Structure 1
Amino acid sequence: MKRAVGLLVLLVLMLPAQVSIQNVAAQEIPRPKDLVVASIWGPETVDPAWCYDTASAEVIQNIYDTLIRFAVNRSLPPEKQGLTDKFEPCLATEWVIAAPPHPDAPPYTNSTYYFKIREGVKWHDSKYGTVKPSDVEYSFERWMVLDRSGGPTWMIYEPLLEAHGADWSDPEWPEKIDHAVESNATHVWFNLKAPNYPPMIFMQILAQSWASVMPNEWAYEHGCWPGEAHPEENPYTNETMTKYYDPEVSPLDDWPPGTGGRIECGSGPYKLAVLDSIEHIWKIERFPDYWKGWPAPGCEGYLETVTFYGIDEWGTRKTMFLAGDADFCYVPRAHLPELVTNWEEKPSWEEEEYPAGIRCFPGLPTLIESNLFFNFKIETAGNKYIGDPPYDELHESGIPSWFFSDVNVRKAFAYAFDYDTYIKDVFLGEAKQPATPHVEGLAYDKYIWDVGKSDLNPPDTVLPPPYDQPLLPNGSGPLPPVPKYYHDLEKAENYFKAAYDGELWEKGFTFSILYNTGNEARETAARMLKEAVESLNPKFHINVIEVDWPTYLNELVAKRLTLFIIGWLADYPDPHNWYYPYMYSEGTFAYFQSYGDPEVDELVLQGVRETDDNKRIEIYWKLGNKYFEDVPSVPLYQDAGRHWERTWVAGWYYNPIYPGPYFYHLWKGWYTPTPTAPLKIKASILHGSSIRLSSEFFNPATKKPASGFIVFVQKSLDNKTWTNVGALITDKDGRVDISITPPLGTTYYRLNFTGYKAPTPVSDELTGTVLLNAKYYEKWIEKAQRNLLSQIVSPVKVETKILEDILSSALSPIREDVDALSDKVTSLTSEVEKLQGTISSQSNMLYASIGIAIIAIIIALVAIVKK
């Protein structure tokens, strides 16, 4: 048989090789200019001065422009491209930071920042012309005037006026706002009162949604503070400003008044088309006159529209995502096994596999923490979450407004929660429990708590030195890590019994915990806490209620939430942006909790003013320990992020500060992946012979041939690095067929269907079988738009040999047959000789046996005769 195989190989190698590759479906990109997002709802506002939630900021950052933007480094992997410490021009073309005070600045000014404003930037409504420096000044001053409760205004007040909100008791306050931001025909400048205010923090504030710019005249016409555009309204008086201070709702979220209509007039890359809080849909459309042009510099394409669907039910979102009806999808962590196809193998992030057409970026480092917050002074008026009255005493059917003011109650709840089980079950281990609001990724994190290390045992005990913590920059220390709470129901019970001198344990309580609809992680946390606490005492009752996100935020601001779960995304990556909202009495969370401590307030302010790293570390270490002692809130988790998208989406990158994607940098297309499938076809030919590559491509949507498309013939010596050696144009049948003469040795070939239509017209003589110049079509593709998804067919391994090698290779099996036959003959001869010896030996034994038998018979006969 081997001989026959050898001769067959010889015959085949003498002939040219014909390689036919199976028909390939050239996938069509769904909605090639439109992107669909499926997530949970949703935006509270479209007013930059009001916005302080990620869902709203995601919309605003795409329809408005800011003075500067965070820079992007496209040479890095997508998960690292977004930078938080470098900036690029936007409405400002250049700037000077932390300069000496402007000559006309108020005497208390410590530094001035100057920004030159870009000319010719159009507003979405052409009626208002182009962006002027006075519009920039107006936008920041309006932000300070509005100063809505729970809003972001503290961030601009802190550097400009060394305050955290408007002080209308100061008769000079309007004048201070006026002089904080100034402009002329070309520039805008900011006069900072705060001494030694970190320039990086100020620039990071200016790069985000709340610092967006709108036209003064448009805002005034739609119910906003008049500003300098209307001096007849006396804009810089206490009386006028207070009319527009902290309204119930922004006029931009209710226009015309009473209708709930959302309006905008930005200069950003997209315009708001729809925002429907009932149907849970928002949509933005491309602004053709965007000053940067289309597509964005460095991008291959752009999106005409982005549509966001707020879908609370995971099963519906999953179906849309898998079917290609959604391009981005929010995937709760607990459902990872449904989309990681090799989940049971416990793969690393690099080894994960996903359904065809789906891509995930796992392990994204976040600057987000979710916490359990306690309300020290609950608003009882109109409150549906505190059970039955009376609200000034302890009883089983409700709670008093001061229920959480006893530290024993807060510690009891802190010990009741099972952090490890929560992180394991809800986040499948992709999260950690911080000790304080000082999350991993912030400056000095490793000095404050044992980041990334095992917990202390027990975690709430400060162990004696030596500590496994780093020395401070000056060589002193180390500081003991800040302790944290852990699951211990016995401790929880003891603290409940100690609360209010035992009266709480005796009488019990009833209240409700809210979570925003669709947020499975918060719902699970609430239900786990309910189960744990209720297991301790039959008189303890907790209800878990879902509400939509805007309602949740409204109840938070109204101080009607009891114990609430919410997260914090860094406004800028500095510890001050965490200790201020969590612990300063006027901070975002602390204010709505009615938590305050003068000692804590002073430490928080010292932290942002201090320039010595060693002293800052000690300040934040003290704050961390105070946080543990007072328990105003408890960290639940800081998770590793994931981004899910369909593989036809291009351009996405990660910035841990962004509230969502910047859609101007996205488009739909395809990248050329390295084939992972094993070689399906091998061919060996005589050097100088040719190999033919052929394939047919068709459009799966129309079921018709994909004719007139560019197909590259690619060559590789290692099956890794590929070079275009020529281009083909598919014929009217979607077919290409080409003969290639490979060089001596081993070479790999493949066909790359690009998805790009060839320049028209293309004559029939040039389609299908004519190898064209690859460089020409590479240049064409750089400027063209893709029509179908790219497809790479399985590569072919081709071995070419000279005739002597082929003959030697072909005859080798025959020589092996002859050698094997000779060995068998020799072996057979030996066996015959052995057999002959055996026969001879056995014959002698037979003769001896016969002789013995005859003798035995004679003896027996003699014996018989004698008897």
Structure 2
Amino acid sequence: MKKVAALATLLTLTSALAAAPKDTLVYQMSSDIPTMDPGVTYDTASGAVVENIYETLLTYSGASLTKLEPLLATKWTISNGGKTYTFDLRKGVKFHSGNAMTCADAEYTFERNLVTNSAESGNWFLAESLLGTGANAADDKTITWARIDKAVECNNAGQLVFTLPSVDPAFLAKLAFPGQSVVDQKHAAGLGEWNGKEATWKDWVGKDLTNSKLSQNPSGTGAYKLVRKDANTVLATAFDSYWGKKPALKNVIFQKVSEIAARQQAFLRGDADIIDGGGRAVDTEQVKGKPGVLWVDNLPNTSATAFFMNENIKNAGLLGSGKLDGRGIPATFFKDANVRRAFSYSFNYDQYIRDVQKGAGKQRTMLLPESFPGYDAKVSTYTYDKAKAEAFFKRAYGGQLWKNGFTLTTNYRAGSEPSQKAMEILKANVEALNPKFRVNIQAKQWSEMLKDSKDGKEAMTIMGWAPDYADPDNFMYTFYSSNGYYNPRLNWKDSQIDKWLDQARATVNTAERNRLYSLVGKKAYEQAPYILVPAGVGYTFVSANLVGVSASNYNPMISFANTGTFWKELSKK
């Protein structure tokens, strides 16, 4: 009780922007923490906490995106033609509740994720591996308890065994995702969560775990345990019974501070060790080069962003007349590849890099980070070319588009200056080609855009993707497959690309996968389903007193505040 009281006092002081103590890490964030339940962790804010109070079977080795090393597992073997994975688990590991971690906890964790699976939870890609479908039992009636139970089991030797219906070259990388962290079964069941039994599993199918009792009272095996959480603050402290090396920092405090100016002031005073920045232009002007600031630049950018051109717009409100008569567009406006190519040549990529990314940007050849296997730098790219844009517009719809003109209405994420600027660049260049061309752009709330785009109701949007796991499949299938996560947002299909992507999923031969992804990139360039937005060069900044953040150990798959490292690896001078 005395320890909790002392920590509560510390929390109060730090919330009032008292100087951050040497044994305490203070991070000021711009958003809240949606959940602390690993079973529904699917955003970076939640992941920044979950990945530190819970642990996965394996993790990334240092800064590598391709090398994995044991964490709660000690080793693993692959057999049965790549369809069976057997894990030896670490002994002597305790949960924050005091319960000992056993194989039964790991089995419960993955069965729970398969049972509660939903598109919002991120467990869809685990289900793809273990059940052969990303659906749950409510959406796919062929999913039974027997299938779930068989997919993950503990054998007589206490080893955890996964049995896949087919080869999945990305399976190990998926297990490093924070949402696959091992959960304390006894603790969870005691709170009223699913008890892991067949008799009750149907009651939990697809259940939203965001505000679960486990989220409110987590129990992981991580180096830090939760002490307190409210709407604006999270307080965690080092776990005395942690199985690994004792962390240098005793306490970690997250504070929600919405205003960027307030975060900047606290950071420059030394009241916060890390803050959410405001983008490269803002951070360069307000923070870079100031006393007490460590700026780390030229970091890998592992997200990908694009304009989506929807080939079946299911929203009459965006179609105007619904015809190619200058006053609107048909729902299938972007189905003509010449339209997509014309728009791709109309975007000024260099201007975007110069004005929005302040010169720190790079045009990619594919919607795949260049640090990932499978990226082919030799694939052709579009450039801003007025003559080619005009030529393709004149070819579109047998010349009718150029003759009659069109009015296109597009939405961008409200409050996103990069998205607004990108839309303005495209609008200006398209309208300059023909006085009969009109592009109307308007801001829209992000939550509404997410829903409407998923339902195919946006004509053109700008959206990005950050990886769930470090495998090219997570980008290539997501963006380019007609069965991919993003397909309902653009309704584009190429049967040859689908075939190549399925082949890449069915082999563990890296060279063959790379060849197939290169073919996808080349065909996608030809078909132009997206306009690829240049990728910004990654950077981060922290207090100069903080030790452990550097380019050499930065791993972009670690969520915490763009530091690329775990809390337990940080210390202070």
TM-score by length of 1: 0.56
Aligned equivalent of 2:27: 37
The residue type paired with residue 408 of structure 1 is N
Deviation at 1:616, TM superposition (A): 3.4
Please say if residues 369 and 639 of structure 1, whose CA atoms lie closer than 8 Å, have aligned partners that are also in contact: no
Question: What is the DSSP-based 3-state SS (H/G/I as helix, E as strand, rest coil) of the residue aligned with 2:504?
Answer: helix
Q: 1: distance between equivalents of 2:409 and 2:187?
A: 46
| 1:112 aligned residue | 85
Correspondence for 1:121: 94
Q: 1:577 is aligned with what amino acid?
A: N
Deviation (angstroms), 1:663 = 4.3
**1:523: which partner in 2?**
420
Post-superposition CA distance 1:404-426 (Å, at most 9, x none): 33333322322221101111222
- Residue 111 (structure 2) pairs with residue 148 (structure 1): no
Q: Residues 155 and 164 of structure 1 are in contact (CA less than 8 Å); yes or no, is this contact kept in structure 2? A: yes
Aligned to 1:747: none
Distance in 1 separating the partners of 2:238 and 2:283: 37
| C-alpha contact 1:270 1:287 (8 A) present in aligned 2 | yes
Code of the aligned partner of 1:654: Y
Alpha-carbon offset, residue 273 of structure 1: 3.4
Change (3 A) 1:521 1:181: same
Which residue is equivalent to 2:152? 181
The 10-residue stretch of structure 1 (321-330 or 211-220) with the greater mean CA deviation from structure 2 = 211-220
Q: 1:512–1:617: structure 2 CA closer, same or farther, 3 Å change rule? A: closer
Distance 2:414 2:44 in 1: 14
The Cα shift of 1:178 comes to 1.5
CA drift of 1:295 comes to 3.5
> 1:664 and 1:615, CA in 2 relative to 1: closer, same or farther beyond 3 A?
closer
Correspondent of 1:578 among 456, 475, 480: 475
Please name the residue that 2:346 is paired with.
416
Q: Is the 8 A contact 2:193 2:213 kept in 1?
A: no
- In structure 2, give the amino acid aligned to 1:53: D
Shift of 1:619: 1.8
Partner letter of residue 182 of structure 1?
E
Give the secondary structure class of the aligned counterpart of 2:172: helix
**Cα deviation 1:85-117 (Å, max 9, x = unaligned):** 44444332x22220348xxxxxxx843322325
Counterpart residue number, 1:206: 175
Counterpart CA distance in 2 for 1:596 and 1:46 is 37
Q: Deviations over 1:229-280 (max 9, x none)?
A: xx432x3xxxx27x623x5xx2333779xxxx9664434323273363xxxx
Deviation of 1:557 after TM superposition, in Å, equals 3.9
**Residues of 1 paired with 2:192 and 2:343: CA distance?**
45
Distance of aligned partners of 1:39 and 1:400 in 2 relative to their CA distance in 1, 3 Å threshold: farther
The structure-2 alpha-carbon separation of the partners of 1:541 and 1:42, relative to structure 1 and needing over 3 Å to count, comes to farther
Judging changes above 3 Å, is the alpha-carbon distance between structure 1 residues 272 and 632 closer, same or farther for their aligned structure 2 residues? farther
Structure 1: give runs of 5+ residues left out of the alignment.
Answer: 1-27, 73-81, 102-108, 342-353, 450-480, 671-867
> Does 2:374 correspond to 1:374?
no
Distance apart, 1:605 and its partner CA: 1.7
Other structure's SS at 1:251 match: coil
1:52 is matched with which residue? 42
Inter-partner Cα distance in structure 1 for 2:111 and 2:547: 38
Q: 1:580 deviation in Å? A: 1.1
**Paired residues of 1:39 and 1:310 also in contact (CA < 8 A):** yes
Q: Does 1:325 align with 2:265?
A: no
Segments of 5+ residues of structure 2 without an aligned counterpart are 1-17
Residues 393, 613 of structure 1: CA spacing in aligned structure 2 closer, same or farther, 3 A cutoff?
same
- 1:386-405 matches, within 5 Å, as 386-387=317-318, 393=323, 401-405=331-335
Q: Report if aligned partners of 1:149, 1:557 keep a CA contact under 8 Å in 2.
A: no
Q: Which amino acid aligns with 1:306?
A: I
2:551 equivalent to 1:654 = no
Question: Structure 2 matches for 1:594-605, cutoff 5 A?
Answer: 594-605=491-502
What does 1:334-373 correspond to in 2, within 5 Å?
334-335=281-282, 337-338=284-285, 354-373=289-308
Could you report, residue by residue, the CA deviation over 1:382-402 in whole angstroms, capped at 9, with x for unpaired residues? xxxx54767x65677766554
Letter in 1 for 2:225: Y
- How far apart are the structure 2 equivalents of 1:562 and 1:44? 30
Distance 1:319 1:635 in 2: 36
Q: Which amino acid aligns with 1:202?
A: F
Q: Name which structure has the greater RCO, CA cutoff 8 Å, separation 6+.
A: 2
1:96 equivalent in structure 2 = 76
Secondary structure in structure 2 of the residue aligned to 1:139: helix
Cα distance, 1:503 vs structure 2 = 5.5
CA apart distance, 1:324? 2.6
The alignment partner of 2:364 has SS state of coil
Distance 2:109 2:524 in 1: 36
User: Of the candidates 353, 363, 367, which is equivalent to residue 433 of structure 1?
Assistant: 363
CA distance in 2, matches of 1:514, 1:420: 20
Identity %: 26
Q: Cα offset for 1:361?
A: 0.9
For residues 387 and 616 of structure 1, the distance between their equivalents in structure 2, rounded to whole angstroms, comes to 39
1:432 Cα deviation after fit: 1.0
SS at match of 1:579: helix
For residue 194 of structure 1, give the secondary structure of its aligned residue in structure 2.
coil
CA contact (8 A) 2:87 2:159 kept: yes
Counterpart mapping for 1:673-692 below 5 A: none
Q: What is the RMSD computed on CA atoms of the aligned residues? A: 3.5
Question: In structure 2, what is the equivalent of residue 540 of structure 1?
Answer: 438
> Is the 1:223–1:251 contact (alpha carbons within 8 Å) kept by the matching residues of 2?
no
Residue correspondence of structure 1 range 223-622 to structure 2 within 5 A:
226-228=195-197, 231-233=198-200, 235=201, 240=202, 244-245=205-206, 250-253=208-211, 264-268=218-222, 269-271=224-226, 273-274=228-229, 276=231, 281-286=232-237, 288-289=239-240, 291-292=242-243, 295-296=246-247, 301-309=248-256, 311=258, 314-329=260-275, 330-335=277-282, 337-338=284-285, 354-380=289-315, 386-387=317-318, 393=323, 401-445=331-375, 448-449=376-377, 481-501=378-398, 506=404, 508-515=406-413, 517=415, 519-536=416-433, 537=435, 540-545=438-443, 547=445, 553-612=450-509, 615-622=512-519
8 Å Cα contact 1:267/1:290 also seen in 2: no
How many correspondences in the alignment? 544
Are residues 1:83 and 2:37 paired? no
Q: 1:152 and 1:67 mapped to 2: Cα distance?
A: 17
* Cα-to-partner distance string for 1:155-213 (whole Å, 9 max, x where unaligned): 32344344444476564643222211002573321112323x43xx3322212212112
Distance change >3 Å, CA 254–CA 525, structure 1 → 2: farther
Q: For the Cα contact (< 8 Å) 1:264–1:272, is it kept in 2?
A: no
Partners of 1:380 and 1:220 in 2: CA distance? 45
- CA shift for structure 1 position 144: 2.2
Say if 1:368 and 1:639, in contact at 8 Å, map to a contact too.
no
Where does 1:623-662 land on structure 2 (aligned, <5 Å)? 623-652=520-549, 653-660=553-560, 661=563, 662=565
Is 2:343–2:430's contact at 8 Å kept on the other side of the alignment?
A: yes
Between Structure 1 and Structure 2, whose CA radius of gyration is higher? 1
Residues 630 and 65 (structure 1), Cα distance of their counterparts in 2 relative to 1, 3 Å cut: same
Report the secondary structure of 1:83's partner residue.
coil
Q: C-alpha offsets along residues 451-501 of structure 1, whole Å, 9 cap, x if unaligned?
A: xxxxxxxxxxxxxxxxxxxxxxxxxxxxxx321111123433444454445
CA 267–544 in structure 1, closer or farther in 2 if over 3 Å, else same = farther
The equivalent residue for 1:192 is 164
Once the two structures are TM-superposed, the CA of residue 618 in structure 1 deviates from its matched residue by 3.2
Q: Distance in 2 between matches of 1:423 and 1:42?
A: 30
1:837-856 equivalences in 2 (<5 Å): none
Q: Secondary structure at the match of 1:292?
A: coil
CA distance in 1 between counterparts of 2:361 and 2:217 reads: 38
Quickly say closer, same or farther: Cα 1:648–1:601, change in 2 above 3 A: same
Aligned-partner Cα distance in 1 for 2:41–2:335? 30
